[in-house]
Amino acid sequence: MANHLSSKKRIRQIKTKNEENKYYAKTMRNALKTIRSTTNKEEAAAILPKLNSMLDKLAKKNVIHKKKAANLKSSLVKHVNTMK
């Protein structure tokens, strides 16, 4: 267990940030599921810019790695373009 006040505060801060990061990561995964399960191309094309923005923000905050965000964005654009 931590003895210093600063380390106790750091533990509290880490706990708060972990909860916040879990929320944003889960929101991202749900959005990915919705766009992948969509069969309508117009609907998927409408969701895509919002999802790209979300991925960029999460990469900027280091919730996900920037290359993972780039890979996800690339695969989603490819997915939407191949829809009928």
Full domain range(s) for residue 60: 41-84
Q: What is the pLDDT of residues 4-60, one digit of tens each?
A: 999 999 999 999 999 999 999 999 999 999 999 999 999 999 999 999 999 999 999
- The answer as to whether 32 is a domain residue is no
- The answer as to whether 25 is a domain residue is no
Closest to 35 in 3D by CA, of 50, 53, 49, 48: 48
- The answer as to whether 69 is a domain residue is yes
Looking at the structure of the chain, the number of domains it has is: 1
Sign for the CA dihedral angle at 71, 72, 73, 77 comes to positive
- The answer as to whether 58 is a domain residue is yes
For the purposes of burial, counting CB atoms within 10 Å of the CB of 39, is it exposed (0-12), middle (13-18) or buried (19 or more)?
A: exposed
Q: What is the pLDDT of residues 70-82, one digit of tens each?
A: 999 999 999 999 9
- The answer as to whether 82 is a domain residue is yes
- The answer as to whether 65 is a domain residue is yes
